[in-house]
Homo-oligomer: A and B are copies of this chain.
């Protein structure tokens, strides 16, 4: 009871090895849908992301994203976004951990790696939205920003929609060129586009994903151009005041579905929109999936800032598989003195024994 279960990256790898990455993502998409369909904020309250932002030594932020499964546990994801990580240090721009705390006692029950889990859950959320809003048989998927999130976005989309062609653009040509090698999807051709071909991407894509590290104030990353009438966009990158990827003209034409309305108004694409102009949020979308499927024939956009509920869902999935497989390890972090009124007992065992023997 006093031990904490640690799920490091090797535990997550063991889960993937056992379940398979496709099946794991399928399971996560299903869990996400179930959680959203039954969502009641009284049972699973979440708190909008907050954090520290800084520009020295480079642009970065560290944020906390809390959610509670009432009567069970509180999850706190802490996520860092440091867009210079890949180029300067060869490590991912988004790094995260998720912790689960017992609401009966306050103990830290689980600490899990959250970097892979964040990519998976962000992909799964987009897949849930795409299942409802994207055309049933897309042919071309455009992607702007081909880093780590792009891999999970395309992979998750491939679990709910079959497509055979990806048009890929990244300001870093090497990153765009290596996307095909990183995608765990069979039979998909990836064509790398140049910056002057973005209008082609706009004109021919059935689904577009934006997952860039564009600087705040430097967006949008999509041109204002003609699109297919039924285009669905998963806008992933906007997660910071001033950071947006989508031109206002497209936002104003589309039905815009935020993952978490208050958060999207603060730091998502919705920043430039008025609350009254927004479409259904992700919960409403899933609860009214049949109704909203009518929008497959018109322009739609999923504004994904990343929601604490999603972190809770993916952490619970990882924990269940870890328990089933017996992976991860136990760490002794919580101070559990024999006398709950004596904080010094464990750190001063001699004193405690000495005093007891009197």
Of A82-90, A218-226, A231-239, A245-253, the one contacting chain B is A82-90
Q: Looking at A52, A85, A345, which has the most chain B CB atoms within 10 Å of its CB?
A: A52
CB of A342 within 8 A of chain B?
A: yes
Contact B21 A334 (CB under 8 A): no
CB of A41 within 8 A of chain B?
A: no
Residues of B within 8 A of A347 (CB): 9, 12-13, 15-17, 21, 116
| Complex-state Cα separation, A150 to B339, whole angstroms | 14
Residues of B within 8 A of A355 (CB): 181-182
Q: How far is the CB of A39 from chain B (nearest CB, A)?
A: 17
Contact B66 A80 (CB under 8 A): no
| Complex-state Cα separation, A263 to B168, whole angstroms | 49
Instruction: Give chain A interface residues in 63-81, CB to chain B under 8 Å.
Output: 64, 66, 68, 70-71, 74, 76, 78-81
CB of A62 within 8 A of chain B?
A: yes
Q: Is the interface of A mostly helix, strand, loop or mixed?
A: mixed
Residues of A that sit less than 8 Å from B by CB:
2, 6, 8-10, 12-13, 15-17, 21, 45, 47, 50-52, 54, 56-58, 60, 62, 64, 66, 68, 70-71, 74, 76, 78-82, 85-86, 89-97, 99, 101-108, 111-113, 115-116, 119-120, 146-152, 155, 175, 178, 181-182, 184, 331-349, 351, 355-356
Given contacts A80-B105, A97-B108, A182-B345, 20 further A-B contacts (CB under 8 A): A2-B91, A8-B331, A9-B333, A10-B332, A15-B347, A21-B344, A21-B347, A45-B52, A52-B68, A57-B104, A74-B78, A79-B106, A80-B101, A80-B107, A81-B106, A90-B338, A115-B343, A146-B341, A147-B341, A184-B351
